Amino acid sequence: MKLAESLRFKYWLAGLLLFSFCFSALLSQERFRRNPPYPDPLNPMKFPPVESGLLTSGLRIVTMTRLNRPLFNLLIIVQAGENDSPRQLSGLATVTAQMLLRGTLSLNSSALEEQMETLGLSGSIEVRADYIIYSFSFLEENLESVLRLVGTYFYEPAFSTQELSAVKRDLYYKQVARRKDPEKSGYDFFLLKLFAGTGYNPAVIDEESIRNISQKDVVSFHQRFFRPNNSIVVLDGNINLNNASRKISQAFSRWTAHPVERPPVPVVDNLNYQAVSFLDLASPDVSVLIGNIVSPLGSEDYYDLLVLNQLIGGSPSSRLFLNLRESKGLAYYAFSHLSFFKNNGLFWIRVKTSPQLVDRVVMEVMSQLNFLLEGKIDPLELEKAKAYLAGNFPLENQLPQEMAKRISLQFVFKLPPNFWNKYYENLLAVSSEKVQLAARRYFTRQPLIVISGDFQASLDSLKKFERIEVYDQEGQLKATCEKGVVRNENR
């Protein structure tokens, strides 16, 4: 009896223990759902091995070795851009760049396209102020055929007049459409204002000058700048530098070197912009652009500026978006950006709003900039901004062509070899004091404010501004507005 009772007790105890174990397990399951899990330690991004060498022609070869990928990326960077187009021929760099893919001496345009498609080759062209990037993706098995084909683009382009007309027409209509967009045309106007008087063209194209571009101009631009000693080839895939150099030197053997002279790019100073500029164009929405020149990519301030940008407007969780859109409902969106040119950088804010809210938008943006100058940055906010940038860095590089472009710009902007691999280290070193110092360096002077949209529709919300200069779509001053009083300019 005692034995039976004892056994019963033991079973009961075992059952109770099992039940407690399971019940606590269930409770803990419910508990883990209440809060987000702690992340594992961040695994910093490491770039694939990068090697670089110079061919006898002066062509720089860069390889980014990535094993086990069936696709290759090929980037060719020509160190010339819209800043190298003569003033009366703005757009020449863009037209020349595109003409290289419009036929060679041995293949006309459609035969070239056919050849590209047979090789599974897709490509794009990006023309900036200081450089042109050709970016191609293709199957590994076609590497040698692709290099041979792409080589011909550079050393034997046809530049046919028929294709030139088509390229010019496409670019012209693209620019006309750009003019109608308040944000894009406002940005072009903003750039022209910031770089006015410096002789530097930050890649703003005047559509009327496209008509002036002749076949002779294109040939001359090509001969002057499209030289191996002025170019960089980046090959990203399952290949090392030796193999890449051999294959590229064969494929590009007929591309001949020639001395290339480019005028130095000026370092631009910020002015104290007392008047607001208004670009008057028909649009139901208004774009507000505010910003200043900052130091170039790779400068000592770079990481401080990166964090500053994230704090103020780098993403929807930054101050501008949260304040202007989410809290106050003043804008459709509000972001800030960093852009880089040779020897100069640009910090700029863009806000899309309605004509009735322009004054409140400008005041709110300025108060956010003033906060960076005078306020106390919350350490938690700073850490959140840094955490975002650290987490987002591999996302910025997830497209193979984006990673290859980042590596190629290291050479264009002459950054130290380990620059991107030190991203996390440099980011972690940014403090609120450093961010504030950077803000004071660049924003103590009144930044440039450009408003782009319908002037008459916005007039009621412009009365608080001391002075506004109103420009037409051609960039000509047509009126001034002081505290809401408009005075037309006699021209």
Partner 1 sequence: MMVLKRQTDKTSAVVRAIIIFLLFGLVNDQLKAQSPEFPYSLNQFKLRNGLEVIVCEDSSLPLISVVVAYAVGSINDPENKGGLAFMMQHLMFQGSQNVGSMQHFIYIQNAGGELNASTTFDKTFFYETVPSNQLGLVLWLESERMNFLEINEAKVARIKEMMLTNAQQRNLQEPYDRYFFLMDQILYPDFSYGHSPLGNEESINNITLDDILAFYRRYYAPNNAIICISGDVKVEKARELVTKYFETIPRGAEQPSYPAAGFAAVYSSRDQTIIDPLVSTPALEFGLRLDGSSPEELPVLRLFEYLLINGKSSRLYNQLVNRQRLALYLSGNLEKRRAFITLKIFLLANNQAMIALSKKLIVEQLNKFKVELVSDRELNRAKGRYRFDFLSQLTTTNQARALTLVEYYLDRGQLPDISYELAAINKITPSLLLLLARKYLKEGKYCFLTILPR
Q: Is 119 in the site for partner 1 (CB under 8 A)?
A: yes
Shortest distance, CB of residue 69 to partner 1, whole angstroms? Answer: 6
Shortest distance, CB of residue 447 to partner 1, whole angstroms? Answer: 26
Shortest distance, CB of residue 44 to partner 1, whole angstroms? Answer: 7
Shortest distance, CB of residue 227 to partner 1, whole angstroms? Answer: 29
Distance CA 64, CA 241 (A): 9
Interface residue with partner 1 among 277, 323, 353, 397 (CB under 8 A) is 397
Distance CA 404, CA 71 (A): 13
Distances (CA, A) of 292 to 193, 264, 311, 391, 449: 11, 21, 17, 27, 9
User: What percent of the residues of the chain are helix, what percent strand, and what percent coil, each to the nearest 5?
Assistant: 45, 20, 35
Cβ proximity to partner 1, 69 vs 483, nearer residue: 69
Cβ proximity to partner 1, 260 vs 390, nearer residue: 390
Interface residue with partner 1 among 7, 54, 363, 395 (CB under 8 A) is 395
Angle between helices 432-443 and 358-374 (to 10 degrees): 130
Q: How is the beta sheet containing 71-78 ordered, strand by strand?
A: 50-54, 60-65, 231-237, 71-78, 132-139, 122-127
Cβ proximity to partner 1, 88 vs 162, nearer residue: 162
The window from 44-52, 184-192, 206-214, 244-252 that contacts partner 1 (CB under 8 A) reads 44-52
DSSP reduced 3-state for 124: strand
Say if residues 386 and 303 touch (Cβ distance below 8 Å).
no
Site for partner 1 in 55-74 (CB under 8 A): 66, 68-71
Q: Is 178 in the site for partner 1 (CB under 8 A)?
A: no
Q: Is 329 in the site for partner 1 (CB under 8 A)?
A: no
Residue 7 host element (H or E): helix 2-32
Q: Is 87 in the site for partner 1 (CB under 8 A)?
A: no
Q: Is 42 in the site for partner 1 (CB under 8 A)?
A: yes
Shortest distance, CB of residue 371 to partner 1, whole angstroms? Answer: 20
Shortest distance, CB of residue 243 to partner 1, whole angstroms? Answer: 18
DSSP reduced 3-state for 258: coil
Distance CA 104, CA 112 (A): 8
Site string for partner 1, 134-163 (x = CB under 8 A): ---xxx--x---------------------
The window from 4-12, 84-92, 201-209, 394-402 that contacts partner 1 (CB under 8 A) reads 394-402
Please give the structure tokens belonging to residue 115.
Answer: 């050849």
The window from 206-214, 314-322, 410-418, 442-450 that contacts partner 1 (CB under 8 A) reads 314-322
Pairing outcome for strands 132-139 and 122-127: antiparallel
The window from 114-122, 266-274, 341-349, 363-371 that contacts partner 1 (CB under 8 A) reads 114-122
For residue 195, give the nearest of 251, 262, 286, 265 by alpha carbon. Answer: 265
Shortest distance, CB of residue 206 to partner 1, whole angstroms? Answer: 24
Distance CA 7, CA 4 (A): 5
CA atoms within 13 A on the CB side of 302: 18
For residue 413, give the nearest of 295, 309, 240 by alpha carbon. Answer: 295
DSSP summary character for residue 104: B
Say if residues 277 and 471 touch (Cβ distance below 8 Å).
yes
Cβ proximity to partner 1, 384 vs 441, nearer residue: 384
Cβ proximity to partner 1, 48 vs 298, nearer residue: 48
The window from 128-136, 151-159, 313-321, 372-380 that contacts partner 1 (CB under 8 A) reads 313-321
Q: Is 113 in the site for partner 1 (CB under 8 A)?
A: yes
Q: Is 28 in the site for partner 1 (CB under 8 A)?
A: no
Q: Is 29 in the site for partner 1 (CB under 8 A)?
A: yes
The window from 249-257, 286-294, 368-376, 397-405 that contacts partner 1 (CB under 8 A) reads 397-405
Shortest distance, CB of residue 394 to partner 1, whole angstroms? Answer: 5
351: left (phi over 0), alpha (psi -120 to 50) or beta: beta
Distance CA 126, CA 134 (A): 7
Binding site for partner 1 (CB under 8 A): 22-23, 25-26, 29, 32-45, 48, 66, 68-71, 110, 113-114, 117-122, 137-139, 142, 315-317, 384, 387-395, 397-400
